Each structure stands twice: as C-alpha cells, then as structure tokens.
C-alpha cells in the first residue's frame, strides 16, 4: 500500500466530524477542492471507500468507521510529540489550546487572555467555546490541551482541578424588585427560563428546583444567558444565571438581581486535562494562574485553592 500522510488523515477526520465537504474544508483552513482531492487520494491509496457521498450529507462506510477511529489515535499521538517537545523546553509555554463552556467564556476570558499573555510572552492561546460533551471529546482526541468546565466530569482519563465555587442568582423583572425571594419549591411554580438542552447549567438549575429533565411545559428555553435575561426584562418570566454573568448580562436589561437566602445554589468550575499529557506540570501552573484570576470575579464567585500539584 502506498504511503499515507498526516494530511490525508487530518482531512479525513475533519470530514468525518463535519459530514460536509465545505464545512470540513473551512475547519481545516483549505479550499473544498483541496480537501476533496486529499480524501479521494486517501481512498485510492487504500483501495476502499471511506465515505458514502450523498447529495446533502457524507457518511462513513463500515471500513471508514474503523479507519477514522485509528486515524484519531494516530493524530493524537502526533500532536503529543509536540507536547513532549514543549515540555522539554523548560519554562517556555508555546501553544495552549483551551476549551471553555459558554456560560463561563464571555465573563472569564477577557481577564484570562490578557493575564496569560502577560504572564507568558509569546504564548499562542487558541480558544474553543462549546458545550461540555464536545470539549471532553476534543480533549480525548488531542484537539485541546485543557478545558474549563463545570465539575465533576467524572472521566477517569482526565485530571480535574477545581478553580472556583460560584453562586446562582435569580433574575426577575425590575418591577419585582421588592418581592420576597422564592425558595426552590416556589420557583417551580414560576415561569422559569432555561438554557436549551445540552448546557450543564440548565441541569444544575433544574436540580436546584428539584425538577428532572421533564420540566413543566410553561417553562421556556433559550440559547444563551443574554437571551434569557432579555426575555426576563420583557416580562416573560424569571431565570437563574451564574454570578459572574451578572455585570455583563444585566447592564442593559430592565431586571433586578436577587440572591437566595441560606445556602444558595452553586456550581464548581474547574480545569481538566488528559492524565497522560506531557504538559501536566505546565497545565497545573496555568490552572493556578486561572484560579487567581477567578478570584477577581464578582461577589459570589469564590476561588478554590490552593490548586493541588501533580
């Protein structure tokens, strides 16, 4: 069999991920004809089809499923060679591919990016914002070095380092500012606006209210915290948001912020990475920097520390 190249494998994996030549080409920063040519060349070298091409979607063949699984392992190992080299360069940190969940990214990243680039001159910080399941998948595939997510993720292959504990606050229309703060039982009877399925913050809000995934029909879903807060301002209902989001999301909406009595609902935010990464020591150092930055976030967001070493 003729030699395969890393480029063959990267383009094939991109096409397997996106199931569309155009989107795969965009994600790979190449033209669609270039990606298509490399994938076809791969199939010709192998003598077997890897993809079934349809009018609207691309599917893996049975052989393609096996090939792409092996290709992911190979690409992860290749990427780790770069990590080994980076670890051997002593204190220098070159590239950091960091994933962040959407309910953290807009509020932490502005402070984090400036602080890290100041602390580590020449750092190539590459950020990906998406939901936790995709971040965990990308970590496993070697596409990310670390991710900031809600803990626990309970993945044996990942190291978890807690960064901060953060309160949830209740957002109500401004006209409700003088009303008593509801408890969880009373909140269940209100029209509660939630993030759509897939967001871990949605699950945490439901858990506080004592409601499973099948919540009342009169509750409504939104795609982002900003949308939920604006809907509350329009008088549609109430919502819960993390404390770090309050300064950003409430400044342009006619809403009031209420804090729960007693022990408020909380989430724990942490940083995770592969246990076997050669960058583990560096990532531990970076997580300490992130923890310190998290300590500057608004009231209710409390840094957890010190970060354990190793």
**Domain layout of the chain by residue ranges:** 6-84, 89-164+267-303, 166-266
H-helix or E-strand spanning residue 6 = helix 6-18
Q: Judge whether residue 167 has pLDDT over 70.
A: yes
Whether this prediction's pTM lies above 0.75 is answered by no
pLDDT at 89: 58
Q: Using CA atoms, how far apart are residues 34 and 178, in angstroms rounded to an integer?
A: 62
Q: Using CA atoms, how far apart are residues 153 and 137, in angstroms rounded to an integer?
A: 12
H-helix or E-strand spanning residue 53 = strand 51-53
DSSP 111: H
Top pLDDT among 223 and 34 is at 34
CATH 1.10.10.10 fits 6-84, yes or no: yes
Confidence of residue 304 (pLDDT cuts 50, 70, 90): low
Tens of pLDDT, residues 125-135: 999 999 999 99
Among 156-170, 213-227, 279-293, the range scoring the smallest mean pLDDT is: 213-227
| Cβ proximity of 199 and 206 under 8 Å | no
Top pLDDT among 208 and 65 is at 65
Tens of pLDDT, residues 62-86: 999 999 988 988 887 777 776 666 6
Tens of pLDDT, residues 18-29: 889 998 998 888
Q: Using CA atoms, how far apart are residues 172 and 143, in angstroms rounded to an integer?
A: 40
H-helix or E-strand spanning residue 165 = strand 158-173
Mean pLDDT of 281-299: 86
- Choose the CATH number for 89-164+267-303 among 3.40.50.300, 3.30.70.260, 3.40.190.10, 3.30.360.10: 3.40.190.10
pLDDT at 242: 93
Top pLDDT among 223 and 269 is at 269
pLDDT at 309: 43
Assigned CATH for 166-266 = 3.40.190.10
Domains 6-84 and 89-164+267-303 share a fold: no
pLDDT at 310: 41
Mean pLDDT of 208-215: 66
3-state SS assignment for residue 267: strand
Q: Using CA atoms, how far apart are residues 93 and 57, in angstroms rounded to an integer?
A: 40
């Amino acid at each position: 069999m003729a030699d395969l190249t890393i480029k063959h494998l990267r383009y094939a994996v991109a096409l397997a991920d996106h199931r569309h030549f155009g989107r795969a080409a965009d994600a790979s920063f190449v033209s669609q004809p270039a990606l298509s040519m490399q994938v076809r060349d791969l199939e010709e070298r192998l003598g077997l089809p890897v993809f079934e091409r349809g009018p609207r979607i691309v599917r893996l063949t049975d052989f393609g499923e096996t090939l792409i699984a092996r290709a992911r392992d190979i690409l992860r190992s290749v990427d780790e060679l770069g990590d080994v080299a980076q670890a051997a360069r002593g204190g220098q940190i070159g590239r950091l591919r960091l994933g962040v969940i959407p309910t953290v990214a807009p509020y932490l990243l502005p402070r984090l990016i400036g602080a890290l680039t100041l602390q580590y001159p020449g750092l190539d910080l590459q950020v990906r914002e998406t939901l936790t399941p995709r971040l965990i998948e990308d970590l496993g595939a070697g596409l990310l070095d670390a991710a900031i997510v809600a803990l626990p993720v309970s993945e044996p292959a990942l190291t978890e380092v807690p960064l901060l504990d953060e309160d949830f606050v209740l957002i109500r229309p401004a006209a409700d500012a003088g009303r008593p703060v509801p408890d969880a039982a009373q909140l269940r009877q209100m029209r509660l606006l939630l993030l759509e399925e897939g967001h871990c913050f949605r699950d945490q809000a439901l858990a506080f209210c004592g409601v499973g995934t099948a919540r009342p029909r009169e509750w409504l879903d939104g795609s982002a915290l900003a949308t939920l807060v604006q809907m509350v301002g329009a008088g549609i209902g109430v919502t819960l948001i993390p404390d770090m989001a309050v300064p950003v999301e409430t400044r342009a909406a006619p809403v009031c912020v209420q804090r729960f009595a007693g022990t408020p609902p909380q989430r724990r935010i942490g940083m995770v990475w592969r246990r076997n990464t050669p960058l583990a020591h560096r990532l531990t150092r970076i997580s300490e920097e992130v923890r310190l930055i998290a300590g500057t976030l608004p009231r209710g967001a409390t840094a957890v520390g010190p970060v354990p070493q190793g």
